[in-house]
A and B are shown apart, each in its own frame.
Chain A
Amino acid sequence: MITLAIDNQKVQVPAGTTVLEAAEKLGIAIPTLCHKQGFEPSAGCMVCVVQISGFSWLMPSCGTPAEEGMAVQTGTNEVNLARRAALELLLSDHIGDCEGPCRLGCPANMDIPRMIRFIAEGRADKAIEIIRRDIALPAVLGRICPAPCEKVCRRAAQDAPVSIRLLKRFAADADLDAPAPYRPVCKKPTGRSVAIVGAGPCGLSAAYYLAQKGHRCVLLEKNDQPGGMLRCAELKEKLPSRILDREISRIMDLGVQLQGGRELGRDFSLERLQKEFDAVFLAIGQPDHRPPLRLPLEMNEKKIVADRRTFRTSLEGIFAGGGALSSRRMCVKSVADGKEAAEAIDQFLRGQPPTGFQKEFNSRLGTLTKEEWKVFVNGADPQGRLEPDSPGGGFTALQAQSQARRCLHCDCRKKKNCKLRKLSTELKAVSGTYSGQRRGYSRIDDHPEAIFESGKCIQCGLCIQVLKRAGLGKGLTFRGRGFGVQIAAALDGPILQTAAEAARQCVQVCPTGAWSLKSK
């Protein structure tokens, strides 16, 4: 047995144990990226580096054998900086989006690509689930949203953007008409209550998500009917009140209480709400009050000052979002605010420090060259963008399905289980810290279920090991060296066909989205 000290704690391990394994024994978690238990350590990514006494440089713990008397430090400042830098360097040569540009362009961060893929499969019922995770008023937005997502859609560079808004409208309308519409599962009542002032898009959205989290919600609206600016004259034509009513009733169905004709400052005061409710959310819309509304909060001219991430105002327990914070905004932004504020209010009500909506790390594909673009759109559905049969109308099921197929699937197929993304989020890596030449975009998909994108490979070689073990008689190798090193088959033959039935295992072990499954 060998005795060593990790972070000043002694541990005994058998000879041949790595420093990483010894740390695990102590319950000390060292992040790893290229390492996979049961495989030969590659010791290449350098995310698992630690400081070992006697070495003036850092050592990758996954490949360093523990030795008698070793003293290891796993969390020094230098170690943390090195780990983050390792990720940032890998990211500077990582060619791919985590999320598609449409999702990043959507103020509500809706998972547009997944919605589209469900529609393409003819599963509008699954699509609406995806939509409603982020958008409380999809049938509304499907009609009036200016669709910033479409402005950044990559397909626009080829012919025209995917009709994202109309696809969303299709799924939302289908749901409204469905015999068993989608109804989110609400958590058990928490016994906490929230007063939401203003039943416009922001307040309705907050109510929708707060209700799902088990909080009692009361909507206080100065008009008799909920909807706020959605009921304004300009939108009448685009947004029939029939649709708006039905969509709002979906929110009310979750147990949200509405008190119409009640206006802040006239019918009740903020102080009273504070006394009666555990939290207050001010979604009072554009400041058009005359005389201006006077609130005991920090204000900037007519607008309420609130934290942009947690929506906290200067008063404890009072949150504000939507048009009350800034003027001239898209409806979808207000809907997004409502959802994100709900998250922060929920945290507050549970006694957690409100951090608000936490964004995951995102890698960006960046600009592609002409050659790369050709590869990127290779195999894309050639049909063009279709306008609905009647002006202001929507897609038929058939149209929606075929339009959905135009999506280029920019988002990563492994975005949910990519170690690189997970670590980049955890270690707060910033993409773009280092920038420079990249390996070039490449995607091969000549396999029934797998796809290989070399631009996302971090050269861990796990797939090489998988194939060696699979014993297919042929395998993969590293080709070349240095910056240009890449995974290749013999004589640069077809990689996926070489991997054959072992491709699934490659997908499983691959720490990034270099190997992925087509169906995702």
Chain B
Amino acid sequence: MKTTPEEKPLDLDFVDRLTARVGARQSQTLVHLHAIQKEYGYLPPEALQRLSEATKRPLDELWGVVTFYDQFRFTPAGQHQVRVCVGTACHVKGADLVYDAMRRHLEIAEGKDTDAQRLFTVQRVACLGCCTLAPAVQIGNVTYGHVSSQTVPLILQDFLERQKALKRGPDKKAVKAVQEPDGQIRIGLGSCCQARGSGKLLDAIEQSVARLSIRARIKQVGCVGMCYQTPLLELAMPSGQTFLYTRVEPEDAESILLKHFSPTGRGRLLMNRIGRTLDRFLTDTIAESVSRHPVHVRNPQIADFLGCQKRVATEHCGIINPLDLEEYKQKDGFAALEKILREGTPEEALGQIEASGLRGRGGAGYPTYLKWSAVQKSPASIKRIVCNGDEGDPGAFMDRMLMESYPLRILEGMIIAAWTVGASEGHLYIRDEYPLAVERIQGAIEICQAHGYLGQHILGTEFSLDLSICCGAGAFVCGEETALMASIEGRRPMPRLRPPFPAQHGLWGCPTLINNVETYSVVPWILRNGGRALAQMGTPQSRGTKVFALAGKVIRGGLIEVPMGATVRQIVEEIGGGVGEGKKFKAVQIGGPSGGCVPAELSDISVDYESLSGAGAIMGSGGLVALDEGDCMVDIARYFLEFTQQQSCGKCTFCRVGAKRMLEILQRLCNGQGHKGDIERLEELARLIRQNSLCGLGRTAPNPVLSTIAHFRDEYEAHINGRCPAKRCRAMIHYSINTNCIGCTLCAQHCPAEAIAMRPYERHEIDPSKCVRCGTCKNVCPAEAVDVE
């Protein structure tokens, strides 16, 4: 961290060195800004001025760009960034309470985002894409899952301890690669796993393996999909037998290893000592936790989770090391590319895509073949290709997982697409909230460059392709393709009117193919297995499979891939294991802020593009958040509209002002201040915004409201009458303590608002004027003595 500007003048040479290093082109703008913010902790005006000079770009233009994105800040930040995820899954699991608790704990003043000691800066973030860990909080580079208002102090403390430990330096021993190992230790290193401590687990395993001289190969694999069970540890024995351990704590690592591997050499001696230690705690936690965790794929729960899934985009899920080229090739990686490049023609590739019936997986479901052929047919000499990895929907993390786990496959799909349409330059636009995805894709690009899959004369042919990553900076609208292109070009990312479409007039005016991450990741499979094979899966209108991020109120959340046409019920109940906690399944929210809610009564509808839009939802990119009876549908509508309203670029009247007016009505309803006619006014505004917005963001923004009104109109009416049936809207509920109270004082100890006086052995009371309705008392009460009315 740099010292604060008051103390000494900024060293602005950094900016000059930066532009000299990465170039001064306008398309590098986001790179420049990210680097400057990283260097100074914010964007100092002097640095922007210097950047404007160095890039010969008017400062006003630059100012328009930097002020568009959420992530850039203009005042010095605290030493560590705390990002509280308020994505859909986190929202329904109480992210607001976590955010409030975080601010309370750090005593951050109203209107500020940083504590007095300038240690932590607390911000809300649209979605960290760790929906199965909801509510999630990212501090620095560490993600914490299942945070609650009570655990806020603990995670802050844990973070600071980690920082101290990091300063001391790593104390792990290097693990030597083992020839002919006794087995393989696979450890999931997706963001979800890491957030639940798989990094620590990996450290523990590496230490144990080194210390005990176990002859096993440790292998990092991508997301296993079973995010609800993280961290996952799988042991694959030479016999072919595998053992899957779920929710493994670092302390458990050694005992698990000892169960399956024999220590060698000096490790044997150590083993005896550990054995004795183990004996001492035999009946205690270690033994118990170990026996509690191992599961087998034949375990009915896991079998259900994996049962009706079908892997295309997520092929070799949980087995493959994301950045191991050799392994990828062993599993048919790059076979499709090599074959089509050497033996095929672009027309053949197009033919396979057409036969597959593949439709864009980014949301709108536009036939991929049509997009490709439009670009291919263009006579332009320079064409470009873009991979849209700006997965901004709160409640969605498919693209993140795909990028983290299958970066090589995505690149292969993209290279095939580029070759087919004749593109020679391309970009992968990835959210900055996905550092691991950026790292893996960057790694994969470097591997491809080193092995002749990217660069000049790919695989010895005349075909050349350069790919680079462009990191977003917190603007959902960048997922809209015209805004995305503006962002890559370094302009203010405002969507523009289509036509012209990117296939006609794209990046820097060149015909440009833009597809979503998942779309590209299906391409190699199609070329290997033939378009028909994909077309055989799914429904007549929606072919193939779809990856969903299943989160919210389900027992087993995670990344799943099912054939199109699976029902909502299958996904929620069979794969997800139902909503749990004895609660009733109410609805699923599909498609995020552009989508809608499918109520439980309609859960037998098939998940495909047409059926979903018929039900008022959309496929969207594939975020699927299950809701139970404790979720208020008006609150859900308000939540999504708040999101789209905040993310609106502000260009067209209906989205800029109309969405704001809709949100105000919804906020009133949730505050118990609704009045007659509000529902009709919402419907009217929704119709107008749908019909008259410039881009897809605005045109779909009313969907969450319309679909909840369509299916849950009674809840809206109840809100007008001052009642929230789900007991969720804070303004309409109050907490009280009933006669079950045993006087344990726990509620009083934990109440963050000092609304409960400490009265040992007596029935406690809540002061409604102080109560912030955070629900902490209800959570900590051991006697079910807290009522919500």
Which residue on chain B has the smallest CB distance to residue A480?
B67
Give the distance in Å from the alpha carbon of A93 to the alpha carbon of B664 in the complex.
13
Q: Is A475 an interface residue (CB 8 A)?
A: yes
Q: Is A60 an interface residue (CB 8 A)?
A: yes
Q: Write out the residue numbers on chain A whose beta carbons fall within 8 Å of the beta carbon of B661.
A: 89, 92, 434-436
Q: Write out the residue numbers on chain B whose beta carbons fall within 8 Å of the beta carbon of A473.
A: 58
Whether A60 lies near B694 (C-beta < 8 A) is yes
B680 to chain A, nearest CB (A): 13
Given contacts A67-B499, A479-B63, contact A86 B654 (CB under 8 A): yes
Give the distance in Å from the alpha carbon of A480 to the alpha carbon of B646 in the complex.
11
Q: Write out the residue numbers on chain A whose beta carbons fall within 8 Å of the beta carbon of B646.
A: 482
Whether B63 lies near A46 (C-beta < 8 A) is no
Which residue on chain A has the smallest CB distance to residue B62?
A490
Whether A483 lies near B648 (C-beta < 8 A) is yes
Q: Write out the residue numbers on chain B whose beta carbons fall within 8 Å of the beta carbon of A60.
A: 497, 652, 694
Give the distance in Å from the alpha carbon of A489 to the alpha carbon of B699 in the complex.
31
Question: Would you give the 0/1 interface string for B657-684, flagging 1 where the beta carbon is closer than 8 Å to chain A?
Answer: 1111100100000000000000000000
Question: Would you give the 0/1 interface string for A461-486, flagging 1 where the beta carbon is closer than 8 Å to chain B?
Answer: 00000000000011111111111110
Q: Select A478's contact among B64, B648, B690, B694, beta carbons within 8 Å.
A: B64
A462 to chain B, nearest CB (A): 14
Given contacts A480-B67, A480-B68, A483-B645, contact A89 B60 (CB under 8 A): no
Q: Write out the residue numbers on chain B whose beta carbons fall within 8 Å of the beta carbon of A475.
A: 58, 60-61
Q: Is A345 an interface residue (CB 8 A)?
A: no
Q: Write out the residue numbers on chain A whose beta carbons fall within 8 Å of the beta carbon of B58.
A: 473-475, 490
Give the distance in Å from the alpha carbon of A61 to the alpha carbon of B742 in the complex.
70
Whether B499 lies near A482 (C-beta < 8 A) is no
Q: Is A157 an interface residue (CB 8 A)?
A: no
Interface residues of B in 57-89 (CB under 8 A from A): 58-64, 67-68
Interface residues of A in 420-439 (CB under 8 A from B): 434-437
Q: Which of B477, B645, B661 has the most CB of A within 10 A?
A: B661
Give the distance in Å from the alpha carbon of A65 to the alpha carbon of B661 in the complex.
31
Which residue on chain B has the smallest CB distance to residue A477?
B64
Interface residues of B in 601-616 (CB under 8 A from A): none
Q: Is B387 an interface residue (CB 8 A)?
A: no
Whether B653 lies near A45 (C-beta < 8 A) is yes
Interface residues of B in 195-223 (CB under 8 A from A): none
Instruction: Report how many A-B pairs have Cβ atoms within 8 Å.
Output: 143
Given contacts A44-B653, A64-B497, A481-B650, contact A437 B660 (CB under 8 A): yes
Question: Would you give the 0/1 interface string for A77-95, flagging 1 where the beta carbon is closer than 8 Å to chain B?
Answer: 0100110011001101100
Question: Would you give the 0/1 interface string for B465-507, flagging 1 where the beta carbon is closer than 8 Å to chain A?
Answer: 0000000000101000000000000001010110110000000
Q: Is A508 an interface residue (CB 8 A)?
A: no
Query: In the complex, which range does the number of interface residues on chain B fall in?
Result: 35 or more
Give the distance in Å from the alpha carbon of A57 to the alpha carbon of B694 in the complex.
9
Give the distance in Å from the alpha carbon of A458 to the alpha carbon of B67 in the complex.
19
Whether A476 lies near B664 (C-beta < 8 A) is no
Question: Would you give the 0/1 interface string for A433-447, flagging 1 where the beta carbon is closer than 8 Å to chain B?
Answer: 011110000000000
Q: Is B691 an interface residue (CB 8 A)?
A: yes
Give the distance in Å from the alpha carbon of A476 to the alpha carbon of B699 in the complex.
29
Q: Which of B656, B658, B690 has the most CB of A within 10 A?
A: B656
Q: Is B45 an interface residue (CB 8 A)?
A: yes
Which residue on chain A has the smallest CB distance to residue B693?
A57
Q: Write out the residue numbers on chain B whose beta carbons fall within 8 Å of the beta carbon of A42.
A: 651
Whether A491 lies near B660 (C-beta < 8 A) is no
Q: Is A412 an interface residue (CB 8 A)?
A: no
Q: Is A49 an interface residue (CB 8 A)?
A: yes
Q: Is B649 an interface residue (CB 8 A)?
A: yes
Which residue on chain A has the smallest CB distance to residue B699?
A57
Q: Is B738 an interface residue (CB 8 A)?
A: no
Q: Is A59 an interface residue (CB 8 A)?
A: yes
Q: Is B739 an interface residue (CB 8 A)?
A: no
Give the distance in Å from the alpha carbon of A498 to the alpha carbon of B52 in the complex.
17
Given contacts A90-B657, A482-B647, contact A63 B497 (CB under 8 A): yes
Whether A82 lies near B500 (C-beta < 8 A) is no
Give the distance in Å from the alpha carbon of A492 to the alpha carbon of B651 in the complex.
20
Give the distance in Å from the alpha carbon of A466 to the alpha carbon of B402 in the complex.
46
Give the distance in Å from the alpha carbon of A138 to the alpha carbon of B64 in the complex.
53
Q: Which of B61, B68, B496, B653 has the most CB of A within 10 A?
A: B653
Given contacts A67-B499, A89-B657, A480-B650, contact A49 B61 (CB under 8 A): no
Give the distance in Å from the alpha carbon of A458 to the alpha carbon of B651 in the complex.
9
A1 to chain B, nearest CB (A): 18
Given contacts A82-B688, A82-B691, A483-B660, contact A89 B61 (CB under 8 A): no
Q: Write out the residue numbers on chain A whose beta carbons fall within 8 Å of the beta carbon of B500.
A: 65
Q: Write out the residue numbers on chain A whose beta carbons fall within 8 Å of the beta carbon of B692.
A: 46, 49, 57-58, 82, 85-86
Whether B60 lies near A474 (C-beta < 8 A) is yes
Q: Write out the residue numbers on chain A whose beta carbons fall within 8 Å of the beta carbon of B650.
A: 459, 478, 480-485
5 A-B residue pairs with CB within 8 Å: A43-B496, A46-B694, A57-B692, A60-B652, A481-B475
Question: Which 3 A/B pairs are nearest by Cβ-Cβ distance?
Answer: A485-B650, A477-B64, A490-B59
Known interface pairs A89-B658, A459-B651, A475-B58; 11 further A-B residue pairs with C-beta atoms within 8 A, sorted by A's residue number: A44-B652, A46-B652, A63-B497, A67-B499, A90-B657, A478-B650, A479-B64, A481-B650, A483-B648, A491-B59, A492-B63
